[in-house]
Homo-oligomer: A and B are copies of this chain.
């Protein structure tokens, strides 16, 4: 499957968005469907190309934007995984989301007009930077892009609300694994062999659990034969059973 070897073990599937040439856009690009789909307006496409800026090679732990910085752009992940997080007044870290290639980071900054969170690279990350004013202007000429932005914004509302339910640790973790699998699958990677780019602590802060609880639940899932855990590699052995656990969250 063409895995690379990094730090001494087989690297996980690491989807990367194809750059494309001047007129064909990144195949995994946030706006790929829009451009490829309808009769592509060559001029508008060139504009889109102009306003996008490839930014490469964020090292693990480095920051793409920080809380409080003036909002000027949204970012599409090209490769790697990004987390957004905020640190509340008494030091608790709250992870807002994880972003895989093709997903958009920074949509929650439009309203406050400054980033309300940090965006941190979890591994080696490349992104595309879209100037938001320029993108919005373009969106008035390309309804498909406007629509896509509306869709993504709306989707994020749903995802955030999902997480907010008072679900049990089991439900949360099951839904997390299934959800991650689905998102990998959307990008053409197996939905049942996951590599977690984030630490247990990150997962815990995302799911609003203690890191110890994450560890314990994963252990139990493995004892029950639902999954096989090897460090940050997780194989989903019984997707149906796991989905049953996650049902209250996923199947609203």
Residues of A within 8 A of B (CB): 67, 86, 88-90, 92, 94, 96, 107-112, 116, 136-137, 139-141, 143, 146-147, 149-158, 160-161, 163-166, 208-209, 247-249, 251-252
Contact = CB atoms under 8 A, between A and B. Distances in A.
A123 to B, nearest CB: 23
Contacts of A136: 143, 146-147, 150
The 9 closest A-B pairs by CB, nearest first: A160-B160, A110-B154, A153-B153, A111-B154, A166-B208, A111-B155, A164-B164, A108-B157, A160-B161
A96 B162 CA distance: 9
Copies in the complex: 2
B111 A247 contact: no
Contacts of A86: 252
Contacts of A140: 139-141, 143, 146
Contact of A150 (B110, B116, B165, B251): B110
> Dominant SS at the A interface?
helix
A89 B248 contact: yes
A182 to B, nearest CB: 15
A242 B97 CA distance: 29
B252 A88 contact: yes
14 contacts: A88-B165, A94-B252, A107-B154, A110-B150, A111-B154, A111-B157, A112-B158, A116-B158, A139-B146, A146-B146, A153-B154, A160-B160, A160-B164, A164-B164
Given A90-B248, A140-B146, 5 more contacts: A112-B154, A136-B147, A139-B140, A157-B160, A163-B164
A157 B251 contact: no
A202 to B, nearest CB: 14
Contacts of A155: 111
Contact of A88 (B112, B147, B248): B248
A180 B150 CA distance: 27
B112 A208 contact: no
